[in-house]
Structures are given as structure tokens and as C-alpha cells.
Structure 1
Amino acid sequence: MNITLFYHSILSDWNHGNAHFLRGVVRELEERGHQVQVYEPENGWSLQNLIEGYGKEKLEELKTYYPNIRTNFYTLESIDLDAVLQNADLVLVHEWSEHELVKRVGEHRANGGKYKLLFHDTHHRAVTERESMAKYDLTHYDGVLAFGQKIRDLYLQEGWTEKAWTWHEAADTSVFYPHERKDFEGDLIWVGNWGDEERTAELHEFLINPVKELGLKAKIYGVRYPEHARKSLADAGIEYGGWLPNYKAAEEFAKYKVTVHVPRRPYVEALPGIPTIRPFEALACGIPLISSPWDDAENLFTPGEDFLVARSGEEMKEQLKTILNNHFKAKEVADHGLATIKRRHTCAHRVNELEKVCEELGIATSKIYLTPKEQVLNEE
């Protein structure tokens, strides 16, 4: 297939957790012989923050992990959709795209576009910012890919679309995999952005306080940490590492004995079944994971086996002691989680699901499932 993807960014993962999954999907599609073109807005906020804070050299570093990564920059004023979409078979528009772009691509599809068109939602805004999401004009879209059943159902209930599929995020195991563990640099690592005060109390209860009270050596990576957050980390003796390129997370996980998952409040309270990308990343890297409570309503994992669960700060301390003091239990949990990722939650699994959606939409199977001969021709 000729596939065109409109993303907020594929080059930058600064405060843009979806980049992991989006990069992995592109890699998997290309490995199957499909022709993929990515478009992202010129001067997008994630890329601009990355360059301003860390320099363009980080984009060169990215290519050592994703050698074939490339993008096309556009502006709403200059993009020529006739040229961009001329040969497309499938078009995906990610929900961080501008309302105007979403509308114009839909209108282009209605005015003779031969491709199938899907909207891809990977955020909680359909619940928390419903008015804004309702303004996306999906009239001429063939459907929605939603990263959880609750979001999928909402699109149908609100009449925003007539067709929707659940398409969870997953791990890109070409980059996220267990690295050799030699000498540990500390006990606990956490990778996550502070965000919009959506989990401040939870971070104190399940992360900062347990680390302080147990006297653990810990390091936290992420962006948008306000002064009060950095002070709390310092008071707990936690090292703050700032932004960590997403593709380097696997290397950092290998330096520590345990990590935790602290989901944002909207996912816990309003969006059961959606874990976000972080547990996929950790489990794929073979590090034991302990999670604060969230409802695995869609049975993606086996809580208690793929990862341990702590229902309170006190329980978190006990679970941390279990993992740190019992090598066999730590290995058992890590191995079980990694096996679940390999069996069910890789980008290859998600592309398999996308291919089924393409079949349902009526794209020719000869385009969806390329023969080995066609793959060779495409690669040449």
C-alpha cells in the first residue's frame, strides 16, 4: 500500500509519548514492503522544544536508532493535498493535528479521493476536552482508530463517526528490548513527564514518598517539572535527569532494578483499560514493574504476574522491598511481563490489526498483504 500519515511529529518525542508507537508502526509497515510518507507541521511545538533545549544534533542521534526515519514538513497555507495524496491507498490523521487540516483532508477524500481515511486518537481529550474533540470534522472519514475501548465507544455514542476500532498502543521491540545488565547504578528509575498536575498527589504517594522513606537510590526522567516538583525530588534524594530521548529508555532501564507506573488521573477515573505507552515500554525492556491502581478492563495484561500492583503508598513500599530483596521474584515478574509483550503487544501485532481494518474497508488484499516477490521489488 501507499500510506500517508499526518503526525504531530515523528522526529521528536519531547513531551510527545506517542512518538514511540508511531515510529514503531512506520518501521513495521516499511519492513512489510509498504511505501510510507509521514507529514508533520513545520515548527510543531514538540520538535521546537527539542531543538531549542537540546540542539539539532539530537535528530542525528535519532537516526542511529531509526536509520530510515524521515518526514515531510508542511504548513496549512502551503500544503498541496492533491500532490500529497495522489497515489495514497490509506491515510491516517493523528488527533494532535490541527482542526483545519483534519477538515481539509476529509473534504479532499469527499472530492474524489480514492484512498481510505482514518482518524487516529491516542489521548484522553475525548473525555476531558470533549468540546474541542467534537469540533474535529470527521464527516468524510471512513472511521476512527481509538487507543482504548472507552474512547472507541465514545466516538460512536456521540455520533462523531459511524465506524471505530480499538487500536491500542504497543512496544516497538526493535528498540525496546532487554539490554545486558551489568552493574546497577541505582534501585529505581522512573520515566515520565510531570504534566498538567494530573497526578501530583499520586506521584508523591506512589513514587516520591516511598523512595524517600525506603532510602532508595532513584533517578527520574521527564520534562515540564515545575520548581515545586524538583524541590520534592531533591528533598527525597531523587536525582532528576531531565528529558530522556525515548529511544534511550531501554538502555537506562537496564541500569536499575525496578520501575513503577503511575497513570494520570483521567486514565484511572474515566478511561479504564488504557495503560498508556509506559507499561509497554518497561515490560518490553525486561525490568520489573510495580503499578499504582488502574483498571485493566480490556485484559491486556495479568496484574500480579506481568507486574505487581500497589493500592496505596504503604503497599508500594512493600512491593518495592519484595522486588529489591528477592531476586527470584523480580526475575519472575520481569520474565512474565516480557513474554506477554512478545506474545500480544508489539507494533507487529498492531500492524496485523491495522491490516484487518484495511480489509474491512475494502482495500485490495493484494495491496495489504504483499508477496515476498513484491516486497523485494518495493525494497529495491
Structure 2
Amino acid sequence: MHIVLFYHSILSDWNHGNAHFLRGIVRELEERGHQVNVYEPENGWSLQNLVDGYGKEKLDELQQYYPGISTNFYSLESINLDEVLRDADLVLVHEWNEHELVKRIGEHRANKGKYKLLFHDTHHRAVTERESMAKYDLSQYDGVLAFGQKIRDLYLQQGWTQNAWTWHEAADTSVFYPHERKEYKGDLIWIGNWGDEERTAELHEFLINPVKELGLKAKIYGVRYPEHARKALADAGIAYGGWLPNYKAAEEFARYKVTVHVPRRPYVEALPGIPTIRPFEAMACGIPLISSPWDDAENLFTPGEDFLVARNGQEMQQHLQTILHNPEKANALAARGLETIRSRHTCAHRVNELEKVCRELGIAESKVYITPKERILHAE
């Protein structure tokens, strides 16, 4: 297939978690012989913050982990959809795109396109910013890929689309895998952005306070940490590392004994079944994971076996002590989580699911499945 993707950025993961999944999906599609073209807006906020803060050399570093990764920059004023979509078989448009672009692609599909067109939602805004999401004109789209059953159902219930599929995020195991553990730098690592005060109380209860009470050696990476957050980290004796390129996370996980997952409040309260991508990636790296409460309504994992669940800060302290002082328990937990990821939740699994959707939409099997021989010819 010739697949065209419109996303905020594949080059930058600065405060942009969707880039994690996008990179893995694009790599998997290309390895299967599909032709993939990514389009992102010029001067996008994530890439701009990355370059302004860390320099263009970080884009060169990205190539070391994703050789050949590339994108196409566009502006709404100058993009030529006739040219961009001329030979497309499948087009995915992410929900971080401008309303105008989403509408124009839909109009192009209705008037000129022979391709199948899907909207891809990987955020909680369908619940928290429903008015804005309702303004997306999806009338000419073939359906929606939603990263959770609850969001999928919402699109159907609201009449925003006639067809929708659940398409969870997953781990890119070409980058997220267990690295050799030579020596530990500390006890606990946490990688995540502070954000818009959506989990401030939870971060204190399940992360900052337990580290302080237990006197652990810990490090936190992420962006958008306000002054009061940095002060709290310092008070707890937690080292703050700032932005960490996502592709380096696996290397950092190997230097610590445990990590935690603290989901944002909208996912806990309104969107059960959506873990977001961080726990997928952590378990793929073979590090023991302890999570604050979230409802695994879609049975993606086996809580208590793939990862431990702490119902409150006191339980978090107890679980941390167990993992840090019981290597056998820690290793068993990490191994079980890793096996679950490898058997069910990799980008290869998600591409399988996407290809199944393509068949449902009527894309020819000869385009959906490319034989190994055809892949070699395509590569040449």
C-alpha cells in the first residue's frame, strides 16, 4: 500500500507522546514493504521547542535509532492535496491536526480520492474538550481509529462517525527492549511530563512522597515542570533530568531497579481501559512496574502479575520495598510484563490490526499483504 500520514510530528517527541507510537508503526509498515509518507506542519510547536532547547543535532541523533526516518513539511496555505494524495491507498489523519486540514482532506476524498481515509484519536480531548472535537468534519471519512474502547464508543454515540475501531498504542520493540544491566545508578526512575496539573496530587502521593519517605535514590525526566514541581522534587531528594529523548528511555530504564506509572486523571476517571504508551514501553524494557490505580477494562494486561497496583501512597511504599528488597519477585514481575508485551502489544501487532481494518474497508489483499519476495523487489 501507499500510505500517507498527517501527524503533528514524527521527528520530535518533546511533550509529544504520539511520536513514540508513530515511529514504531512507520518502521513496521516500511519493513513490510509498504510505501509510507509522513506530513507534519512546518514550525510545529513540538519540533520548535526541541530545536530551540536542544539544537538541530538532536535530529541527527534520532537517525542513529531510526535510520532513514523522514518527514515532509507543509503549510495549510501551500499544500497541494492533489499531488500529495495522488497514488494513496490509505490516509491516516491524526487528531492533533488543524480543523481546516481535516476538513480539506475529507473534501478531497469525496471529490477526487480513491483512497480509504481514517481519523486517528490518541488523546482524552474527546471527553475533556468535546466541543472542539465535535467541530472536526469527519463526514467524508471512512472511520475512526481510537486508542481505547471508550473513545471509540463515544465517536459512534455522538454520531461523529459511522465506523470506528479500537487501536491501542503499543511498544516499539525495535527500540524498547531490555538492555544489559551493568550497574545501577539508583533505585527508581520515572519518565513523564508534568503537564497541565492533571495529576499533580497523584504525582505527590504515588511518586514524590514515597521516594522521600523511603529515602530512595531516584531520578525523574520530563518537561513542563513548573517551579513548585521542581521544588518538590528537590525537597524529596529526587534528581531532575529535564527532557529525555524517547529513544534513550530504554537505556535509562536499565540503570534503575523499578519504575512507576501515574496516569493522568481523565484516563482514570472517564476513560477506563486506556493505559497510554508509557507502561507499554516500560514493560518492554524489562523493568518492574508499579502503577497507581487505573481500570484495565479491556483486559490488556493482568494487573498484579504484569505489574503491581498501588491503591494509595502507603501501598506504593510497600510495593517499592518489595521490589527493591526481593530480587526474585522483581525479576519475575519484569519477565511476566515483558512476555505480555512481546506476545500482544508491539507495533507489529498493531500493524496487523491496521491491515485487518484495511481489508474490512475493501483495500485489495494484494496491496495489504506483500509477500517476502515482493518486499525484496520493492526494496531494490
Please state which band the TM-score falls in when normalised by the shorter chain.
over 0.9
Which residue of structure 2 aligns with residue 290 of structure 1?
Answer: 290
Residues 43-102 of structure 1: CA distance to partner in whole angstroms, max 9, x if unpaired? 000000000000000000000000020000000000000000000000000110110000
Work out the CA distance in 1 between the residues paired with 2:68 and 2:26. 10
What is the 5 A alignment of 1:300-379?
300-379=300-379
RMSD between superposed Cα atoms in Å: 0.4
Matched position secondary structure for 2:39: strand
Work out the CA distance in 2 between the residues paired with 1:221 and 1:276. 17
Matched position secondary structure for 2:297: coil
Amino acid at match of 2:190: W
Work out the CA distance in 1 between the residues paired with 2:135 and 2:371. 41
Work out the CA distance in 1 between the residues paired with 2:18 and 2:212. 31
Residues 118-170 of structure 1: CA distance to partner in whole angstroms, max 9, x if unpaired? 00000000000000000000000000000000000000000000000000000
Which residue of structure 2 aligns with residue 139 of structure 1?
Answer: 139
Amino acid at match of 2:377: L
Amino acid at match of 1:239: A
Amino acid at match of 2:233: L
Q: By how many angstroms is 1:107 displaced?
A: 0.2
Which residue of structure 2 aligns with residue 231 of structure 1?
Answer: 231
> Percent of aligned positions with the same letter in both sequences?
85
Q: By how many angstroms is 1:105 displaced?
A: 0.3
Work out the CA distance in 2 between the residues paired with 1:372 and 1:328. 42
Unaligned runs of 5+ in 2: none
Residues 253-280 of structure 1: CA distance to partner in whole angstroms, max 9, x if unpaired? 0000000000000000000000000000
Amino acid at match of 2:212: K
Matched position secondary structure for 1:119: strand
Work out the CA distance in 2 between the residues paired with 1:20 and 1:175. 10
Work out the CA distance in 2 between the residues paired with 1:326 and 1:189. 18
Q: By how many angstroms is 1:33 displaced?
A: 0.2
Which residue of structure 2 aligns with residue 22 of structure 1?
Answer: 22
Work out the CA distance in 1 between the residues paired with 2:321 and 2:268. 25
Work out the CA distance in 2 between the residues paired with 1:268 and 1:163. 26
Which residue of structure 2 aligns with residue 5 of structure 1?
Answer: 5
Work out the CA distance in 2 between the residues paired with 1:261 and 1:250. 15
Matched position secondary structure for 1:208: helix
Q: By how many angstroms is 1:354 displaced?
A: 0.2
Amino acid at match of 2:330: A
Which residue of structure 1 aligns with residue 148 of structure 2?
Answer: 148
Q: By how many angstroms is 1:214 displaced?
A: 0.1
Amino acid at match of 1:276: T
Q: By how many angstroms is 1:112 displaced?
A: 2.0
Residues 162-221 of structure 1: CA distance to partner in whole angstroms, max 9, x if unpaired? 000000000000000000001100000000000000000000000000000000000000
What is the 5 A alignment of 1:271-286?
271-286=271-286
Work out the CA distance in 1 between the residues paired with 2:21 and 2:68. 16
Work out the CA distance in 2 between the residues paired with 1:377 and 1:51. 37
| TM-score normalised by the chain length of structure 2 | 1.00
Work out the CA distance in 2 between the residues paired with 1:335 and 1:95. 35
Instruction: Report the count of equivalent residues.
Output: 380
After the TM superposition, which parts of structure 1 deviate over 3 Å for at least 4 consecutive aligned residues? none
Amino acid at match of 2:198: E
Work out the CA distance in 2 between the residues paired with 1:242 and 1:337. 27
Work out the CA distance in 2 between the residues paired with 1:109 and 1:190. 43
Work out the CA distance in 2 between the residues paired with 1:333 and 1:117. 41
Which residue of structure 2 aligns with residue 176 of structure 1?
Answer: 176
Matched position secondary structure for 2:290: strand
Matched position secondary structure for 2:204: helix
Which residue of structure 1 aligns with residue 250 of structure 2?
Answer: 250
Work out the CA distance in 1 between the residues paired with 2:62 and 2:263. 27
Work out the CA distance in 1 between the residues paired with 2:17 and 2:217. 26
Work out the CA distance in 2 between the residues paired with 1:168 and 1:153. 14
Which residue of structure 2 aligns with residue 33 of structure 1?
Answer: 33
Which residue of structure 1 aligns with residue 163 of structure 2?
Answer: 163
Which residue of structure 2 aligns with residue 94 of structure 1?
Answer: 94
| TM-score normalised by the chain length of structure 1 | 1.00
Matched position secondary structure for 2:197: coil
**1:65 maps onto 2:65 in alignment:** yes
Q: By how many angstroms is 1:322 displaced?
A: 0.2
Matched position secondary structure for 1:83: helix
**1:112 maps onto 2:112 in alignment:** yes
Q: By how many angstroms is 1:103 displaced?
A: 0.3
Q: By how many angstroms is 1:373 displaced?
A: 2.0
Work out the CA distance in 1 between the residues paired with 2:193 and 2:112. 42
